[in-house]
């Protein structure tokens, strides 16, 4: 009797872990595909200012590569792409006081481009940004 319960337990745990692993591989694939779509959006909408290497132009267009702003202000970064950004900000110790207009992207496109810029040029985001996460971001965030 005990052996049966034990076996059942092992089976359940085994199944749980194998399902979990499958899910994370699927999630990883989704993350990769989103970032790939984001790369195309980046070229079309962002590269003119933030440049192909994500380094921007010191004092004029802030960097996205190794940007402490992008790294530590996830919601604010999403908000800046969704609603635009103006006024004084500090990125990697340098002050910017300019304007980025909203670019008219859909929530899904914003998630894609965020997944691209947060995993490029040495940036290391492991938490995929979803369309649902973007849709929750409000102008007051
Ligand atoms: C016309 C130039 C221009 C374009 C195009 C542009 N940006 Fe920006 N971006 C700026 C400026 C200028 C700022 C800083 C605004 C300020 O000083 O308040 C900024 C700030 C940012 C920030 C926050 C600061 C940082 O460096 O981490 C992020 C994130 C960002 N942009 C991402 C994007 C993405 C993604 C796109 C394309 C969808 C894009 N930008 C398109 C000019 C631009």
Each of the 141 residues of the chain gets a pLDDT tens digit; together they read 565 655 565 555 554 555 555 668 999 999 999 999 999 999 999 999 999 999 999 999 999 999 999 999 999 999 999 999 999 999 999 999 999 999 999 999 999 999 999 999 999 999 999 999 999 999 998
Whose C-alpha lies nearest to ligand 1, atom 8? Answer: 100
d(CA 68, CA 13): 40
Whose C-alpha lies nearest to ligand 1, atom 37? Answer: 46
CA distances (Å), origin 44, targets 37, 41, 133: 11, 5, 23
Q: How far is the CA of 4 from the centre of ligand 1 (A)?
A: 60
Q: Is the distance from the beta carbon of residue 54 to the nearest atom of ligand 1 less than 6 Å?
A: no
d(CA 116, CA 40): 9
CA distances (Å), origin 32, targets 36, 78, 126, 136: 6, 19, 11, 22
Q: How far is the CA of 20 from the centre of ligand 1 (A)?
A: 37
Q: How far is the CA of 129 from the centre of ligand 1 (A)?
A: 18
């Amino acid at each position: 009797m005990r052996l049966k319960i034990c076996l059942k337990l092992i089976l359940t745990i085994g199944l749980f872990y194998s399902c979990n692993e499958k899910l994370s591989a699927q999630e990883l694939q989704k993350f990769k595909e989103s970032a790939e779509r984001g790369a195309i959006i980046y070229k079309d909408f962002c590269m003119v200012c933030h440049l192909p290497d994500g380094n921007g132009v010191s004092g004029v267009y802030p960097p996205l590569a190794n940007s402490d702003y992008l790294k530590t202000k996830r919601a604010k970064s999403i908000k800046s792409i969704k609603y635009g950004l103006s006024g004084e900000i500090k990125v990697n110790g340098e002050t910017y006081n300019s304007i980025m207009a909203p670019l008219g992207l859909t929530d899904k496109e914003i998630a894609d481009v965020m997944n691209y810029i947060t995993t490029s040029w040495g940036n290391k985001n492991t938490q995929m940004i979803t369309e649902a996460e973007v849709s929750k971001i409000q102008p007051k965030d």
